[in-house]
Amino acid sequence: MGAYAEHIKTVCNRFDKALDDNHFESVLIYSGQPRVDFLDDNAPPYRVNPLFKYWVPVTESPKSAIFYRKGSQRPTVYLFQARDFWHAAVSIPEEEWQQHVDLKIIDDLSMLTEDLGSELEQSAFIGEDFAQPVSDWKVKARNPQALIDHLHFHRSIKTEWEVDNLREANRLAAKAHVAAKEAFYAGKSELEIHHAYLGAIDFRESQVPYNSIVALNSHSAILHYDVYDTVPPKQIRSFLIDAGARYRGYCADITRSYAYEEGFYADLVEAMDKAQQELLSEIKPGASYYDLHVSMHLKVAQILSDFDFIKGDAQSIYDKGYTSAFMPHGLGHFIGLQVHDVGGFLKDDKGTSYERSERHPFLRLLRDIEVGHVFTIEPGLYVVDQLLEEHKDSADINWDKVDELRPYGGVRIEDSIVVGSDGNENLTRDAFKELGAE
Ligand SMILES: [Mn+2]
């Protein structure tokens, strides 16, 4: 059986169980439609419902839907193709997925409701329903949380077909990262680097999965920096780029940090890279991601000690809470159909959740590691003055050293990992290696 055939069989089985547990006969998954801006008739780029693209790699067909009857092992795809002279028709190439579904082309949503008739009333509806006629449809339930939790819990285990797509997304993103790195060393501005990134893979901005972080110098300490200066700084010191790509709806999310010249920042990048690779070797089925996050804090603490930012050993630096000021975000997150893929807080498929950790409130993956999980590992260290304020009277912190790092911002290294039963796959480093880039 081909990889997609296996995938859709898995999706059918997962829906069978989820529908059964939650007492639904069927489900209707609406792909969504663009929502126009306030007082305007323009809409931001359309983004498909992730549970729609879970079934079929169709990402640019708003007003489409998938109907699946429990136990049928074959969904119906209502593919919307507008018959109007305003829009270019999206051509759907002939592909394998079409052999595994009943495909019905519609140009009006009434064709869907007529086709389904009274079955719709037994269906769970999953999707956005802000517009008519979708908002008027008589369904059994709209976005029932228990059903969604069930699906989200099991979605964390990726099929081979999903991993293939994630691998390809990483190849695209790595290629773009190499172009961005070259633009940085050529002295380009943040905006020029951003354009070099997109140009390398023929992407328009709406095709990357999130706003790329393209940060020179101190900007890299702003965790979601995405405003882009149009002129390069007078003195170029450092470059942090956190940017991804999408392939068949699956996301890459890669971060790299570069020093413009040799020196202490270059050494810091090297130390972080080494710490990150050590963390990768700690990933094992059955281990807890939370423990890995704490292990990362201790490694960051060791770096803070080694580079003379803070007095003391790693354990005491962690215990006193200093690492949270330098490294405020989580170690990583699930990745897949969504950049921050769902289910990181779910304990089981009944919707029981892990409580967010008080000590590490921004960690969004609290589950134990399983074979088939795909997640990021992204340790970092930054000068965030707002967070250091709390420790401003601390004699442990070497403020001269903090001042030295401030104009460089910070450092982060991020890869995506597929957990295997016999060793893991690093989608990101493998992609760079294929390019001869790392
Ligand atoms: Mn990430």
pLDDT higher than 90, residue 285: yes
If you measure from the C-alpha of residue 229 to the centroid of ligand 1, how many angstroms do you get, rounded to a whole number? Answer: 23
Q: State the distance from the centre of ligand 1 to the C-alpha of 186, rounded, in angstroms.
A: 26
pLDDT, residue 134, reads 97
Compute, in angstroms, the gap from residue 377 CA to the centroid of ligand 1: 8
**Angle at 104 (CA atoms; ends 23, 74), nearest 5 degrees:** 40
* CA torsion angle 350 351 352 357 (round to 10): 160
pLDDT digits (tens, 9 = 90+) for 125-176: 999 999 999 999 999 999 999 999 999 999 999 999 999 999 999 999 999 9
Annotated binding site for Mn(2+): 242, 253, 333, 378, 414
Secondary structure of residue 319 in the 3-state scheme: helix
Tokens of 365: 């993956």
pLDDT for 350-409, tens place per residue?
A: 999 999 888 899 999 999 999 999 999 999 999 999 999 999 999 999 999 999 999 999
- Residue 180: predicted pLDDT: 98
Cis before 133 (ω within 30): yes
Structure-block tokens of residue 356: 């967010």
Q: Using 50, 70 and 90 to split pLDDT, how confident is the model at 84?
A: confident
Residue 347 CA to ligand 1 centre (angstroms): 22
| CATH topology assigned to domain 160-434 | Creatine Amidinohydrolase (3.90.230)
- Which residue pairs, CB below 8 angstroms and at least 24 apart, start in 354-360? 357/290, 359/324, 360/290, 360/293, 360/294, 360/324, 360/330
State in Å: Cα 339 to ligand 1 middle: 7
* d(CA 183, ligand 1 centre) in Å: 22
User: What digits encode the pLDDT tens for the residues 193-228?
Assistant: 999 999 999 999 999 999 999 999 999 999 999 899
For the chain, give every residue range classified as CATH 3.40.350.10.
3-155
pLDDT at 88 > cutoff 90: no
**pTM score of the predicted model:** 0.97
In the chain, list all ranges with CATH 3.90.230.10.
160-434
Fold adopted by 3-155: Creatine Amidinohydrolase; Chain A, domain 1 (3.40.350)
In angstroms, what is the span from residue 349 Cα to ligand 1's centroid?
25
- Residue 18 predicted with pLDDT over 90: yes
In the structure, what pLDDT confidence band is assigned to residue 311 with cuts at 50, 70 and 90? very high
The annotated binding site is made up of 242, 253, 333, 378, 414
Q: How close is the Cα of 224 to the center of ligand 1, in Å?
A: 11
The CA distance from 246 to 252, in Å, is: 6
